[in-house]
């Protein structure tokens, strides 16, 4: 989820924790739990700072180790170690319980996005992405804001947020049902579909689709149960080609391939260099595919320049690499 949603979730958990008699009866415990819940709801995303290094490191590691099983176990201990000196009268066990819930819930809700997490590391490095909830969901965020307002005007926070989370649970169930209806509609339209990658959007009934058959990739959109196919690409395996093999050694392309489950590729040759481009098919937006990897190599197959990340125009992409190509 987005940062704003994780923040309101932290405050909501702090309110929900007042249902715990130990928390409710101790000012030090309730105050420390609220602070810990807000921090715990944010701390797995501390790996966002990796973006300061470069996109390759960020893409390969964001929502990786910081969202893993060991991290979920260790983050609460670290938070408590930092907070306890300020709240020495707090009940440590119940502080740990609610801090753990905050960290766990952060990682748990992230798996419902299309981006997903490596939540089962070190058991598996596979990305878990259920593609049911958009990274920013207006309804989920709005429900949290309403709950916080009701708390602010005097309603009991425990009962308020308990009801709120029951409503959100029902909303998640509804989203799964809508997603299932979309997948069934795709199967009727494209019976040979082997894999259907569904990505939610900010609009409730609109979904992005990347569909894989034995011979083709389809890029489509679903609105309710109506499927609109935008583009169809022949499915071509990556060949054992010297240019591509050299490009795959580049850190940016390697990061792209570690993350993207469905893509197409292109190789272009110019007078003084080669260009290898990989395009993720999941994020089509206004006719453009914003998540790409681009590698430029000289005639001796040395990488001259490369980039991976989200760019929303060809001009922007060209500004990220060293060799400038004039586009007709």
Pair (12, 123) in one structural domain: yes
Q: Is residue 144 part of a domain?
A: no
Q: What is the mean pLDDT of the chain?
A: 92
Please tell me the predicted confidence (pLDDT) of residue 52: 67
Q: Residue 252's pLDDT band (boundaries 50, 70, 90)?
A: very high
Domain boundary residue among 78, 112, 136?
Answer: 136
Q: Is residue 56 part of a domain?
A: yes
Q: Is residue 213 part of a domain?
A: yes
Q: Is residue 130 part of a domain?
A: yes
Pair (190, 115) in one structural domain: no
pLDDT tens digit sequence for 158-186: 999 999 999 999 999 999 999 999 999 99
Q: Is residue 150 part of a domain?
A: no
The total number of structural domains in the chain stands at 3
- Using the predicted structure, report yes or no on whether residue 328 has a pLDDT greater than 50: no
Q: Residue 48's pLDDT band (boundaries 50, 70, 90)?
A: confident
CA atoms within 13 A on the CB side of 243: 17
Q: Is residue 147 part of a domain?
A: no
pLDDT tens digit sequence for 208-219: 999 999 999 999
Lowest mean pLDDT among 135-139, 220-224, 241-245, 269-273: 269-273
Q: Is residue 288 part of a domain?
A: yes
Domain range spanning residue 279?
242-320
Per-residue burial over 59-83, b if 16 or more Cβ lie within 10 Å, else e, is bbbbbbebbbeebbeebbeebbeeb
Please tell me the predicted confidence (pLDDT) of residue 115: 84
Please tell me the predicted confidence (pLDDT) of residue 60: 76
Please tell me the predicted confidence (pLDDT) of residue 325: 52
What is the per-residue DSSP string for 284-325? -BTTB--EEEEEEEETT--EEEEEEEE-SSHHHHHHHSSS--
């Amino acid at each position: 989820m987005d940062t704003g949603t994780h923040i309101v979730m932290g405050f909501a958990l702090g309110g929900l924790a007042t249902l715990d008699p130990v928390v409710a009866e101790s000012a030090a415990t309730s105050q420390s739990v609220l602070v810990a819940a807000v921090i715990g709801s944010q701390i797995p995303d501390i790996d966002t700072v990796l973006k300061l290094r470069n996109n390759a490191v960020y893409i390969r590691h964001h929502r990786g180790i910081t969202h893993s099983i060991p991290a979920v176990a260790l983050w609460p201990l670290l938070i408590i170690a930092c907070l306890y000196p300020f709240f020495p009268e707090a009940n440590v066990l119940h502080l740990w319980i609610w801090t753990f819930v905050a960290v766990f819930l952060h990682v748990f809700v992230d798996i419902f996005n299309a981006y997903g997490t490596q939540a089962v590391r070190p058991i598996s490095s596979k990305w878990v992405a259920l593609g049911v909830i958009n990274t920013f969901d207006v309804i989920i965020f709005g429900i949290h804001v309403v709950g916080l307002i009701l708390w602010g005007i005097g309603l009991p926070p425990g009962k308020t947020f308990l009801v709120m989370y029951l409503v959100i649970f029902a909303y998640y169930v509804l989203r799964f049902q809508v997603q299932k209806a979309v997948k069934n509609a795709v199967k009727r339209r494209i019976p040979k579909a082997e894999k259907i990658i569904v990505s939610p959007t900010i609009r409730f009934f609109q979904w992005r689709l990347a569909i894989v058959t034995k011979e083709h990739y389809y890029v489509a959109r679903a609105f309710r149960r109506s499927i609109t196919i935008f583009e169809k690409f022949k499915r071509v395996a990556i060949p054992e080609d010297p240019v591509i093999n050299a490009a795959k050694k580049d850190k940016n392309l390697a990061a792209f391939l570690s993350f993207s489950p469905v893509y197409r590729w292109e190789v272009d040759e110019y007078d003084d260099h080669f260009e290898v481009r990989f395009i993720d098919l999941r994020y089509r937006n206004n006719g453009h595919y914003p998540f790409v990897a681009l590698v430029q190599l000289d005639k001796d197959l040395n990488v001259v320049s490369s980039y991976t990340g989200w760019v929303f125009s060809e001009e922007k992409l060209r500004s990220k690499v060293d060799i400038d190509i004039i586009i007709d």
